[in-house]
Structures are given as structure tokens and as C-alpha cells.
Amino acid sequence: MKLTGIFPPIKTEKVQVKKTEGSAPSKADSTALPTDRVVLSVGSQDVQKVRDILEQTPEVRADRVQALKDEIARGEYQIDPSRLADKMMGSLLSETLVK
């Protein structure tokens, strides 16, 4: 199950690149160059953490699918009509709010 289009776009701050000057090059190391450093905002770090978690999460929960198949095969799968209607209405409302 993919969850797309249900969350508003996440605003991230611009990445700041800071140039730091190294210490004066010694006679032995005359090729020392200043180094660049990237500093990410907290919001950008949070977005990266969420992306990492989503990449590790399988799209299909095989254990849940198998459990449902077993319930259906045994004839024990019950559908709650009220809950189903609530989910359908919630889905319909969220689609209209996003558009």
C-alpha cells in the first residue's frame, strides 16, 4: 500500500555550505586546501530519517495478508459495515480536501 498525496509537501530549509579554512600549510604539506562542510537543518535531517524508514518498510505486509487469507479460507473473516463505511467516507473526504 502506497501512501501518496495524503500529506502536504514538507518544506525544508536551504542547505548551508560553510567553507572552513584549514590551518596554515606546513612546509611538509604544501598542498593543504580549505575544506567544505555541509550543515543540514533539523527539518532536513527529519525528512531524511523518514525517507530511510520508508525505504526499509515493505510495501506489502506479507504476514497480515497471509493471516487474512487464512481467515477467509476458514470462513471466519467478518466485515464491520459501519467501520467500512467510515473508512470509505474518510477516504472520500481526504481526496476532496487534497484537490
pLDDT in tens, 29-84: 557 788 888 888 888 888 999 999 988 888 888 999 999 999 999 999 999 999 99
Domain count, the chain: 1
Instruction: Please say whether the beta carbons of 36 and 29 come within 8 A.
Output: no
Containing domain of residue 59, as a range? 36-79
Query: What is the reported pLDDT for 76?
Result: 94
Q: Quick check: is 6 in a domain?
A: no
5 vs 33: which has the higher pLDDT: 33
Q: Quick check: is 2 in a domain?
A: no
Q: Quick check: is 14 in a domain?
A: no
Q: Quick check: is 66 in a domain?
A: yes
Q: Quick check: is 75 in a domain?
A: yes
Whole-angstrom Cα distance, residue 61 to residue 82?
Answer: 24
Query: What is the reported pLDDT for 42?
Result: 85
Q: Quick check: is 1 in a domain?
A: no
> CB neighbours of 17 closer than 8 A, spacing ≥ 6?
36, 37, 38, 39
